[in-house]
Amino acid sequence: MSFMERQAGRFRHAAGAGRALALVLTLATAAGPACAGPFKPWIDGTDAAEPATQTQRYDRDTYVIRQSLRTNFEGPFLYLLFGRDRALLLDTGAGNVKIRPAVEAVIAGWLKAHGRASIPLVVAHSHGHGDHHQGDAEFADRPDTTVVGLKPEDVAAFFGIADWPKQIATFDLGGRKLSVIPTPGHHPAHIMIYDPKTRLLLSGDTLYPGRIYVPSNRFGELQDSLDRVAAFGATHKVAWALGAHIEMSRKPGEEFPDRPPHPDEHPLELPFSALLELQAAIHGMAGKPARAVRDDFVVTPILPR
């Protein structure tokens, strides 16, 4: 539950929904951002002494790791989700840093908290671009660990997707049945992961507060992917979409250059409405790829590939 929802609940109790909304809007305006999110501030490259990685706990079975922009300008976000039977690491970073120690620290803490000696680990990827799998080799010889390949056929085979990209697969971590949604467009092997436990949608590079890069010959594929996720969202509640980068400030539509620092960075989390806004922007192009600036993302066509 967010700060805004908590406050809304409190005020609704005391003063009725209408007045509560007015109060919340006043608070939100005074505070700047419309809604306090689930995370503390991320390392943003503004501090020369910031650590190479930062881990934040979303809940006791869900962790987010950011790689410092100072180690690589991409500053990607990685996700580590635990179930009863296995854990899933989504992405391994952009390189120029050892990522496995940060992952091992989270796993060790989780095992201790759960009185467990071990848990199998699956290392998969939001997609196959180089800024999301540079740490794969660090996991190659890790016991009880599977590293999923980077091509659409590797991803489809591992998750049991017979009809890529139309089929949405279920991947059970043990009491935690994730939905794996093929979302080619930005990259042919892109997937989004939906977690019913947290209602998080891990949206990779297909939706994040920054430049949504799409090869100009793949807008149709992206449109189909967004339609697929939008339809999924119509029947599944999404708390937040969490992507793989932040490339904008809190000022609507303002992009950072491809280097640190990122002062006054946009929050990582986006509401599901941002995905619908992206879907509408792509549909609005009617097959003619074009740059489109919105408050929370910038559609950025790149050369065909």
Query: Which residues contribute to the site for Zn ion (CB under 5 A)?
Result: 129, 131, 205
Least gap, CB of 224 to Zn ion (angstroms): 18
- Cβ 76 to Zn ion shortest distance, Å: 6
Q: Output 4 or 148, the one with its CB closest to Zn ion.
A: 148
Q: Which residue, 86 or 125, is less far from Zn ion as judged by CB?
A: 125
Residue type, 238: V
Pairing of strands 62-67, 145-147: unpaired
- 105-112 long-range contacts (CB < 8 A, ≥24 apart) are 105/55, 106/55, 106/63, 106/65, 106/80, 107/80, 110/60, 110/61, 110/82
Q: Is 169 left (phi over 0), alpha (psi -120 to 50) or beta?
A: beta
Q: Kindly state the smallest distance separating residue 100's Cβ from Zn ion, in Å.
A: 19
Residue whose CB is less far from Zn ion, 119 or 268: 268
Tokens in use for 24? Answer: 């919340």
**What is the crossing angle of helices 17-31 and 3-15, to 10°?**
140
Report, in Å, the least distance between residue 228 CB and Zn ion: 18
Pick 16 or 130: Cβ nearer Zn ion: 130
Q: What 3-state DSSP class applies to 177? A: strand
Q: Which token pair is 131?
A: 């800024």
- Closer CB to Zn ion, 107 or 123, in the complex: 123
In the complex, minimum distance from the CB of residue 16 to Zn ion, in angstroms, rounded to a whole number: 45
